[in-house]
Amino acid sequence: MLLAFLTGCELVVLEPAGDIAAQQGKLIIYATVLMLIVIVPVMALTAFFAFHYRASNGKSSYAPEWSHSVSLEIVVWTLPLAIIICLAGLTWVATHRLEPYNDLSRISATQPIDPTVQPLTIQVVALDWKWLFIYPEQGIATVNEVAAVVNRPIEFKLTSDTVMNSFYIPALAGQIYAMPGMETELNAVINRAGDFEGFSANYSGNGFSKMRFRFHGMDEAGFEDWVQQVRDGSETSLSRENYVALAQPTTGNPVSYYNGVADDLWRRALNLCVTPGVLCMDDMMMVDALGGGGLLGLMNREIFAGICAADDALTLYQLLHPDTLPEGPQPLASPVVQSPLLETR
């Protein structure tokens, strides 16, 4: 009866729309079949033994002194061991082939990758409790809606603004975690147009169950129309102030659009320093690496206050080579301290 109720459901994991998910679906099938080679005989023999050696069966043989069979031992140990070896080899190869950080090696089983086509980069931020999608090339951002071009590689870069979360579009690829202060990556491709569901696959608080979004697979023209629709459908840009307001915990957020994105917003979201006055994590790690709260850190505190990017080559060189600075009462002073960027921190 349960199966009758499930006839209207779609087996999206085994019949996906993306090549990565399709390969993962095949891996599930192959692994299941291998395990059933052991499970089915065991279940069948369990039922057979229970019936054949029942108390009322007077025809069954009874051998109370029997204790060992070499042939049976060979079967019992060899077959499961062979299956485990096959499973290990299968999952090892598939795990490395389907590594989410790897660039795609193909579009589908019949279509190779085109090296001249650049991946579509989508930056994803898990918020409480909604999903923010930033398109750096298109200069737009959306909430709880994302779109991509059919048969064009997609490069998702993910982080979280609060707790660890999980990004999952079953029709596209496997789930991947989004963690605060870290950047994870998922490379995938959608092979047919359609409207698909995405959601959080990791409990993250009260609004977790409503943390869902729609993923649209479109042709090139449809995607361009969608981008223009996002630009025309909003008069608001995703500034740092708007990001801070958006990041406040809410549930059941409707789809919303932003027609622009503040410069450096992704780096600040990744390093948890969108709020003005908050030190970015990459800067904090550099400060710690160069003395932190120790004596060297105290000597360099004026320079640390003026650091606005962890890749500031001049400041790094001066910190590591203080002997190159001019003599004076403040031997570790740096031009970076007077940088106009200091006022934007």
Same domain? For 119 and 184 the reply is: yes
Q: Which pLDDT band holds residue 76 (cuts at 50, 70, 90)?
A: confident
Instruction: Kindly state whether residue 255 falls inside one of the protein's structural domains.
Output: yes
C-alpha R_g of the chain: 29
Burial class for 132, CB neighbours closer than 10 Å (0-12, 13-18, 19+): buried
Same domain? For 88 and 123 the reply is: no
Same domain? For 120 and 259 the reply is: yes
CA distance 241 to 343: 16
Instruction: Kindly state whether residue 102 falls inside one of the protein's structural domains.
Output: no
Percent of the chain with pLDDT over 70: 81
Domain of residue 169, residue span: 111-270
Which of 304, 290, 292 lies closest to 334, judged by CA?
304
Give Dmax over CA atoms of the chain in angstroms.
106
Instruction: Kindly state whether residue 328 falls inside one of the protein's structural domains.
Output: yes
The strands making up 212-218's β-sheet, listed across from edge to edge, are 145-149, 212-218, 194-200, 165-168, 176-178
Domain boundary among 210, 241, 270: 270
Q: What is the DSSP letter of 263?
A: T
Quick one: pLDDT at residue 330?
43
pLDDT at 1 over 80: no
pLDDT at 26 over 70: yes
Quick one: pLDDT at residue 2?
56
pLDDT at 96 over 90: yes
The Cβ of residue 23 has, within 10 Å, a number of other Cβ atoms equal to 17
CATH of the domain at 140: 2.60.40.420
The Cβ of residue 199 has, within 10 Å, a number of other Cβ atoms equal to 17
Per-residue model confidence as pLDDT tens digits over 313-322: 555 555 555 5
DSSP per position, 156-219 = EEEEESSS-EEEE-TTT---EEE-BT--EEEEE-B-S-EEEEEEE-S--STTGGG-EEEEEEE-
Quick one: pLDDT at residue 3?
55
Which of 163, 166, 157 lies closest to 124, judged by CA?
157
Same domain? For 314 and 266 the reply is: no
Quick one: pLDDT at residue 221?
98
Same domain? For 190 and 329 the reply is: no
Instruction: Kindly state whether residue 58 falls inside one of the protein's structural domains.
Output: no
Q: Could you tell me what percentage of the chain is helix, strand and coil, using 3-state DSSP and rounding each to the nearest 5?
A: 40, 20, 40
Instruction: Kindly state whether residue 57 falls inside one of the protein's structural domains.
Output: no
Residue 299 has which token pair? 């000597």
Per-residue model confidence as pLDDT tens digits over 225-241: 999 999 999 989 999 99
The stretch 181-194 carries a mean pLDDT of 98
Same domain? For 135 and 244 the reply is: yes
Same domain? For 219 and 87 the reply is: no
- pTM recorded for the entire structure: 0.80
> For the chain, what is the mean pLDDT?
86
Residue 286 has which token pair? 């550099």
Q: Which pLDDT band holds residue 30 (cuts at 50, 70, 90)?
A: very high
Same domain? For 210 and 180 the reply is: yes
Count of the separate structural domains present in the chain = 3
The Cβ of residue 192 has, within 10 Å, a number of other Cβ atoms equal to 13
**Pairing outcome for strands 184-188 and 176-178:** unpaired
The tally of CA atoms less than 13 A away on the side-chain side of residue 242 is 17
Containing 251, the helix (H) or strand (E) segment is none
